[in-house]
């Protein structure tokens, strides 16, 4: 089962205690799946609603007297006044037409609606929980979406998907660790490649000097670094410095090799 499916399965088991919250979730379940307020609530069709939404609809409906009549006659704004009702409404909307990406791959949360009014209502409700949601048109649907990682986790928490929120957080941590390791490995490989290229250039310069004017044209300090570099082609600058007598630091080795490079470039010219 996908992560989005797991979230919905968890939410299916969250049943509001208060009747006003049941009405809010019922409204979300219905309004975000089919044709919203234009269709009679009595005409719920198993061929229209998905099994999860349908199951939750009738679970809530059977627990509240006159559920259909009340939801049909009241304004949505009257039903989702309280913070608890807003959470229930969001939960119902997500069960019916929501999607959340696998956190190991992407960070994506969205809910589809055929009604622009309901999409705007959802954005308004999310905004009251300090969640910056946006909407765009995709075919006949208005897609309400959230991209920020922290906001997606907040959505899971608000809807009551606490177990899924923890799984999301753990997957995010693991993903961040893997990305950090990859960045470090890439950085290490880049540094190794740079060092290998530099060492190859240094050896080419030394070989040029030896084959043309000879090491006798160099100072004793430069002759010494030439010999050490040829003997230890894979060593770092710090290691090369330790082989000299007396030993010198990395900056001293770099200074001598730069002099070698300048002298070799002058010979090439």
Report domain extents, the chain: 3-175, 191-264
In the chain, the percentage of residues whose pLDDT exceeds 90 is 30
Q: For residue 47, give the 3-state DSSP assignment.
A: coil
Q: Per-residue pLDDT averaged across 78-99, rounded?
A: 91
The CA-CA-CA angle for residues 106, 51, 93, to 5°, reads 55
Residue 54 has a pLDDT of: 64
Which is it for strands 134-138 and 141-146: parallel, antiparallel or unpaired? antiparallel
Quick check: 55 pLDDT over 70?
no
Global pTM exceeds 0.85: no
Quick check: 88 pLDDT over 90?
yes
Q: Per-residue pLDDT averaged across 142-167, rounded?
A: 93
Query: DSSP states of 61-80 as a string?
Result: HTTSTTHHHHHHHS-HHHHT
Q: Per-residue pLDDT averaged across 116-130, rounded?
A: 93
- From the CA atom positions of the chain, what is the Rg in Å? 34
Residue count of the chain: 269
168/166 Cα distance (integer angstroms): 5
Which one, of 217, 215, 201, lies nearest residue 265 by Cα? 201
Residue 38 has a pLDDT of: 36
Protein fold of 3-175:
Endonuclease I-creI (3.10.28)
Per-residue pLDDT tens digits for 187-216: 878 777 888 888 888 899 899 989 888 888
DSSP letter assigned to residue 35: S
Q: Bigger pLDDT: 100 or 78?
A: 100
Q: What is the mean pLDDT of the chain?
A: 83
Residue 64 has a pLDDT of: 56
Return the number of other C-beta atoms located less than 10 Å from residue 2's C-beta. Answer: 11
User: What are the DSSP E strand ranges found in 86-194?
Assistant: 98-100, 109-113, 134-138, 141-146
Quick check: 53 pLDDT over 80?
no
Which one, of 249, 164, 117, 173, lies nearest residue 239 by Cα? 249
265/213 Cα distance (integer angstroms): 13
Quick check: 58 pLDDT over 80?
no
Return the number of other C-beta atoms located less than 10 Å from residue 5's C-beta. Answer: 12
208/162 Cα distance (integer angstroms): 69
Per-residue pLDDT tens digits for 215-245: 888 898 898 989 988 888 888 888 888 988 8
Residue 60 has a pLDDT of: 65
Per-residue pLDDT tens digits for 29-51: 888 865 433 343 344 443 434 56
Q: Is the CB of residue 223 less than 8 Å from the CB of residue 206? A: no
Task: Extract the tokens encoding 228.
Answer: 């050490």
User: Which region among 14-28, 49-63, 189-203, 254-268 has the lowest average model confidence (pLDDT)?
Assistant: 49-63
């Amino acid at each position: 089962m996908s992560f989005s499916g797991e979230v919905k399965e968890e939410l299916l088991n969250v049943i509001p205690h208060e009747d006003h919250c049941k009405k809010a979730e019922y409204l979300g379940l219905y309004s975000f799946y089919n044709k919203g307020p234009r269709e009679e609530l009595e005409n719920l069709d198993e061929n229209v609603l998905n099994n999860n939404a349908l199951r939750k609809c009738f679970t809530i409906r059977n627990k509240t007297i006159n559920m259909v009549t009340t939801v049909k006659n009241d304004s949505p704004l009257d039903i989702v006044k309280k913070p608890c009702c807003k959470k229930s409404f969001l939960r119902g909307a997500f069960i019916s037409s929501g999607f959340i990406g696998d956190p190991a791959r992407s960070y994506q949360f969205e809910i589809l609606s055929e009604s622009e009014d309901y999409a705007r209502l959802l954005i308004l409700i999310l905004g009251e929980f300090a969640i910056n949601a946006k909407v765009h048109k995709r075919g006949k649907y208005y897609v309400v979406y959230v991209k920020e990682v922290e906001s997606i986790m907040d959505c899971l928490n608000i809807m009551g998907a606490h177990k899924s929120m923890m799984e999301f957080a753990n997957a995010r941590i693991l993903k961040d660790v893997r990305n950090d390791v990859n960045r470090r490995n890439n950085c290490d490989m880049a540094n190794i490649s740079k060092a290998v290229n530099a060492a190859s250039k240094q050896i080419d310069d030394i070989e040029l000097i030896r084959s043309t004017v000879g090491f006798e044209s160099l100072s004793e300090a430069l002759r010494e670094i030439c010999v050490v570099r040829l003997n230890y082609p894979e060593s770092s600058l710090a290691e090369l410095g330790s082989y000299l007598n007396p030993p010198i630091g990395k900056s001293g080795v770099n200074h001598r090799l730069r002099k070698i490079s300048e002298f070799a470039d002058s010979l090439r010219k």
